[in-house]
């Protein structure tokens, strides 16, 4: 604590703190938590879920007095000799909403984790492995890859070298010599057909980075690509600090749906999972009825949305606001088919089914909010946009900007992607939108844009 208090760049410090009731008491532990919080250091706090100690380990309520935002995790106890009872699970999940992740069986599969490629584990001796339990040494930061003097560390990018980008040229010539993975099939023996066994460039070592049977601790399973809950940890999942997201706004077309306009299986699973931990909203140019039809499969998990380009705002059962539009404009735009959208008898959006001329659109933009998708042009009140709708709902819910995440894929998502710090684009996003997303979401994998 003194070191942290007196020197160093604390913005670079993130701590994973464990409460061991046999080693310290609640008061002393909470005092240290308060100090960390006051110093502005990000940290999580947790304990092992020992059934007989449940009452002692639950410092959750006391932590809330320090800050509502400190995450309290609970690890499942190893070697307990029995399963947790449903009552214990309920009790522990009440303190840690992600406790049930601890109870799942994750069969180790390095194709389903990012360890060894996007991250590595380095022990105190400098030994590198994919993760803390993968049981295969990939190298050593002092020896493995360095051309510098011993102790000067690795030159270049370790992950790249492990990843196989190290291997250039002829596979047969280079693999044996350059393979850095101990016990690697190819590094030790070139028996069999090398090209079958090795997809260098997409390195063979990918297949040989892990000898574990299960990813049975948080530090390992937080690298998995098949756990939708990790979305809520953003790129802090490794240090086990959730991002404090309270609401996620999803665009529909191309973000939740595939090319055929159907909600993808992974997005369905993601939305359902998120809805157990935070509110899920839609932010769409689609009018409410179309949005409901498109999202029928996930509708039960949706809390409301910014519909019809922010002109129809809803928090189901709590809030509704329609932003009116002056319909007289249509009379001035001759020769175009238009659809009028009303809610509670209030006109709020007009959609033109043919592309309007550039001059007409420029003129309209002076007085209205105009969105274009293919040949369809949508007109709403100048104050109504996807973004303004989200901000309106955020105000109603009394949420802060940083507790909102937005997910989009296309040009008309750019304003919301630019406004929110938790901005995410999906894997197939348009380039113009992608550059405004801080994070990228592929399936459930959440990565910071480089």
Binding site for ligand SF4 (CB under 6 A): 108-110, 113, 115-116, 130-131, 133-134, 209-210, 212, 215, 220, 223
Best CA proximity match to 413, nearest among 311, 343, 310: 310
Least distance to ligand SF4, CB of residue 225, Å: 10
For ligand SF4, the closer of residues 119 and 438 by Cβ is: 119
Q: Which residues pair with 352 in a beta bridge?
A: 338, 377
For ligand SF4, the closer of residues 89 and 219 by Cβ is: 219
Tell me the C-alpha distance between 382 and 348, whole Å.
11
For ligand SF4, the closer of residues 10 and 211 by Cβ is: 211
For ligand SF4, the closer of residues 136 and 175 by Cβ is: 136
For ligand SF4, the closer of residues 207 and 321 by Cβ is: 207
Best CA proximity match to 357, nearest among 338, 335, 339: 335
Tell me the C-alpha distance between 358 and 410, whole Å.
20
For ligand SF4, the closer of residues 209 and 295 by Cβ is: 209
Least distance to ligand SF4, CB of residue 136, Å: 8
Least distance to ligand SF4, CB of residue 181, Å: 12
Least distance to ligand SF4, CB of residue 267, Å: 24
Least distance to ligand SF4, CB of residue 244, Å: 25
Least distance to ligand SF4, CB of residue 112, Å: 7
For ligand SF4, the closer of residues 109 and 430 by Cβ is: 109
Tell me the C-alpha distance between 245 and 274, whole Å.
10
Query: DSSP assignment, residue 402?
Result: G
Helix (H) or strand (E) holding 448: strand 445-448
Helix (H) or strand (E) holding 368: strand 368-373
Tell me the C-alpha distance between 61 and 68, whole Å.
9
First to last CA, the chain: 33
Tell me the C-alpha distance between 289 and 303, whole Å.
15
Least distance to ligand SF4, CB of residue 258, Å: 28
Burial class, 443, CB count within 10 angstroms (exposed 0-12 / middle 13-18 / buried 19+): middle
Least distance to ligand SF4, CB of residue 223, Å: 5
For ligand SF4, the closer of residues 140 and 267 by Cβ is: 140
Asked if residue 202 lies in contact with residue 223, where contact means CB atoms within 8 angstroms, the answer is no
Asked if residue 392 lies in contact with residue 308, where contact means CB atoms within 8 angstroms, the answer is no
Tell me the C-alpha distance between 268 and 258, whole Å.
12
For ligand SF4, the closer of residues 116 and 389 by Cβ is: 116
Going from the C-alpha of 358 to that of each of 170, 338, 367, the distances in angstroms are 55, 17, 15
Least distance to ligand SF4, CB of residue 205, Å: 12
CA 276 remoteness from chain centre? 15
Number of Cβ atoms within 10 Å of the Cβ of 260: 6
Least distance to ligand SF4, CB of residue 227, Å: 11
Tell me the HSE value of 325 on the side-chain side, using a 13 A CA sphere.
30
Least distance to ligand SF4, CB of residue 105, Å: 12
For ligand SF4, the closer of residues 89 and 112 by Cβ is: 112
For ligand SF4, the closer of residues 223 and 369 by Cβ is: 223
Tell me the C-alpha distance between 51 and 171, whole Å.
54
In this structure, which long-range contacts are made by residues 339-343, counting pairs with CB atoms below 8 Å and at least 24 apart in sequence? Answer: 341/287, 341/308, 341/311, 341/312, 343/288, 343/312
């Amino acid at each position: 604590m003194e070191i942290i208090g007196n020197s160093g760049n604390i913005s670079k410090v993130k701590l994973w703190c464990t409460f061991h009731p046999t080693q310290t008491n609640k008061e002393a532990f909470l005092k240290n938590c308060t100090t960390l919080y006051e110093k502005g250091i990000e940290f999580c706090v947790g304990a092992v879920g020992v059934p007989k100690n449940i009452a002692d380990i639950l410092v959750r309520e006391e932590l809330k007095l320090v800050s509502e935002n400190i995450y309290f995790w609970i690890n499942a106890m190893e070697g307990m000799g029995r399963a947790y009872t449903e009552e214990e699970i309920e009790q522990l999940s009440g303190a840690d909403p992600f406790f049930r992740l601890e109870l799942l069986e994750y069969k180790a599969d390095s194709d389903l984790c990012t360890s060894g490629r996007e991250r590595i584990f380095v022990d105190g001796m400098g030994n590198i492995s994919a993760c803390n339990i993968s049981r295969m040494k990939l190298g050593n930061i002092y020896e493995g890859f360095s051309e510098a003097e011993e102790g000067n560390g690795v030159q270049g990018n370790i992950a790249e070298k492990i990843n196989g980008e190290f291997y250039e040229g002829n596979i047969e010539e280079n693999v044996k010599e350059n393979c850095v993975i101990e016990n690697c099939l190819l590094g030790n023996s070139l028996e069999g057909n090398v090209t079958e066994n090795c997809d260098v460039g997409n390195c063979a070592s990918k297949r040989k980075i892990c000898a574990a049977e299960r990813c049975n601790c948080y530090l390992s399973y937080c690298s998995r690509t098949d756990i939708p809950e990790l979305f809520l940890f953003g790129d802090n999942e490794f240090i086990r600090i959730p991002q404090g997201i309270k609401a996620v706004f999803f665009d529909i077309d191309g973000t939740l749906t595939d090319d055929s306009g159907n909600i993808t299986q992974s997005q369905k699973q993601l939305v359902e999972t998120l809805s157990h931990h935070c509110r899920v909203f839609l932010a769409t140019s689609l009018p409410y009825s179309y949005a409901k039809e498109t999202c029928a499969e996930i509708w039960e998990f949706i809390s409301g949305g910014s519909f019809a380009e922010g002109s129809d705002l809803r928090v189901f059962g709590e809030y509704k606001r329609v932003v009116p539009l002056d319909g007289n404009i249509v009379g001035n735009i001759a020769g175009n088919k238009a659809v009028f959208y009303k809610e509670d008898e209030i006109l709020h959006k007009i959609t033109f089914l043919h592309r309007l001329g550039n001059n007409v659109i420029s003129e309209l933009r002076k007085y209205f909010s105009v969105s274009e998708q293919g040949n369809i042009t949508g007109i709403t009140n100048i104050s109504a946009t996807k973004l303004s709708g989200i901000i309106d709902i955020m105000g109603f819910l009394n949420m802060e900007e940083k507790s909102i995440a937005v997910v989009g894929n296309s040009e008309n998502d750019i304003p919301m992607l630019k406004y929110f710090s938790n901005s995410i684009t999906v894997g197939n996003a348009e380039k113009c939108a992608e550059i405004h997303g801080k994070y990228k979401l592929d399936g459930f994998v959440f990565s910071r844009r480089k």
